[in-house]
């Protein structure tokens, strides 16, 4: 899904969808997950070495997980509607670009 979205972003930007960039990929991932890149924990190859004893104890509790991103004042319904509108706008831009490409092919 992320790759498909990245290709669509490249196409909307009037670039070859088969040559989407890393920026397109990250934007697509953020759009689909709703998570900003700065909030995603990165794992490196040395992660196993960095585990503490607490990580190995069965039943040990970890740290508090951040809230889901919704403030108490925000309405979840409003957030869902907003996300739906953004998705609809993306779909319209993809369709408009496809129509432009089709018209360009017909003119050749």
pLDDT of the residue at 59:
54
Is residue 96 predicted with pLDDT exceeding 90?
Answer: yes
- How far the first Cα of the chain sits from its last, in Å, is 32
Q: Tokens standing for 80? A: 């869902």
pLDDT of the residue at 89:
92
Domain ranges of the chain: 1-37
Name the more confident of 40 and 18.
18
Name the more confident of 96 and 45.
96
Is residue 93 predicted with pLDDT exceeding 60?
Answer: yes
pTM of whole model > 0.75? no
Token pair 């003119």 in the structure block, residue:
107
């Amino acid at each position: 899904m992320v790759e498909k979205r990245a290709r669509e972003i490249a196409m909307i930007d009037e670039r070859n969808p088969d040559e989407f960039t890393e920026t397109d990929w990250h934007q697509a991932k953020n759009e689909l997950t709703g998570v900003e890149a700065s909030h995603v924990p990165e794992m490196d190859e040395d992660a196993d070495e960095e585990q503490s004893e607490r990580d190995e104890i069965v039943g040990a509790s970890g740290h508090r997980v951040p809230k889901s991103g919704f403030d108490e004042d925000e309405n979840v319904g409003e957030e869902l509607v907003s996300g739906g509108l953004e998705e609809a706008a993306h779909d319209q831009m993809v369709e408009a670009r496809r129509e432009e490409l089709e018209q360009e092919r017909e003119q050749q």
